[in-house]
Structure 1
Amino acid sequence: MKIYFLSSIVLLLTLFANPIQAQAQHEKENYVVLTKKIPQLEPIFLTAETLAEEDGKNFGKFEVIICGQTVKELTDKEMMQKYINKAKEHNVELVACGFSLNKFGVDRKDISPKFRVVENGILYNLQLQKKGYTSISL
């Protein structure tokens, strides 16, 4: 009787533990960085590259949200093109904070269409965190 009972417990643990492990192994690792300085994009891209190597096939999305007064620099299309190219190379999505664009008088037409604009970068960052993204603000 004890053997039957112990065998049943082991069987139940095996049945319920494997789906949890399988689910954890297949989840993608997603990242978001909120920055207020354009030059920080260089080390952010290096970080994305390293994490992509470490995570392998579990590497998911990597988004960079640009907020604050630095959004004025997004209108310098020549300077920004090198960052846009690196972002594409490292599979990083560039996001501009619409609230900052409005506050500092930057017309959305004056920035590259490669930038996705969200209405509120801070709110968007928190929403991604709720979805399980690993986040850091610089």
Structure 2
Amino acid sequence: MKHSITYITALLFLILGTSEMKAQDHHSDQHDYVVLSKNIKQLKPILMTATSLAEEDGENYGEFKVIFCGKTVSDMKNNADFTMLLKQAKLQNVKVSACGLSLNKFNINPDQLPELLEVVDNGILYGFQLKKNGFISLTI
């Protein structure tokens, strides 16, 4: 009886320890980030944050994405300051996107936007999909 308890305990530790290791294998050491914002004026501090996180994370720094949704998409066209920040974002490998639903709502033609800006169909859905894929997310 004493040996049975020892064997059962050892078996439980083996099973629980193995399942915990599998869960850990599922997560990467790479840190990926996504920011969902309703204000394009936040792009400059977001890029500063991306720089700091890249330095802090070192080799573990992964992707950094920014998604703009809402009325702020109206401020993107013919905006020299925003275009300059998009160029800075590209140099930092930060991908900036505009929400297609917001563009439609405010009658903005994607052709009127800077070339460096990516358009995603649904910014909120895209943010959730990235979060499900392990991205650390922030909404501002």
Whole-angstrom distance in 2 between the partners of 1:86 and 1:107: 24
How many angstroms does 1:96 deviate by? Answer: 0.6
Q: Tell me, which stretches of 5 or more residues in structure 1 are unaligned?
A: none
1:6-85 paired onto structure 2 within 5 Å: 23=25, 27-85=29-87
Instruction: Report the TM-score when normalising by structure 1.
Output: 0.80
Instruction: Report the TM-score when normalising by structure 2.
Output: 0.79
Whole-angstrom distance in 2 between the partners of 1:97 and 1:26: 28
How many angstroms does 1:101 deviate by? Answer: 0.3
> Residues 26 and 127 of structure 1: is their aligned pair in 2 closer, same or farther, counting only changes over 3 Å?
closer
How many angstroms does 1:42 deviate by? Answer: 1.1
Whole-angstrom distance in 2 between the partners of 1:30 and 1:79: 26
Identity %: 42
Whole-angstrom distance in 2 between the partners of 1:50 and 1:80: 21
Write out per-residue CA displacement over residues 40-72 of structure 1, whole angstroms, 9 at most, x where no aligned residue.
Answer: 111111110011011111111000001000101
How many angstroms does 1:23 deviate by? Answer: 4.9
Residue pair 2:99, 2:121 contacting (<8 A) in 1 also: yes
1:130 corresponds to which residue? Answer: 132
Tell which deviates more after alignment, 109-118 or 97-106.
109-118
Tell which deviates more after alignment, 113-122 or 99-108.
113-122
2:91 corresponds to which residue? Answer: 89
Q: Tell me, which stretches of 5 or more residues in structure 2 are unaligned?
A: 1-5
Tell which deviates more after alignment, 22-31 or 49-58.
22-31
| RMSD between superposed Cα atoms in Å | 2.5
1:107 to 98, 109, 123: 109
3-state DSSP of counterpart to 1:75: coil
Tell which deviates more after alignment, 86-95 or 119-128.
86-95
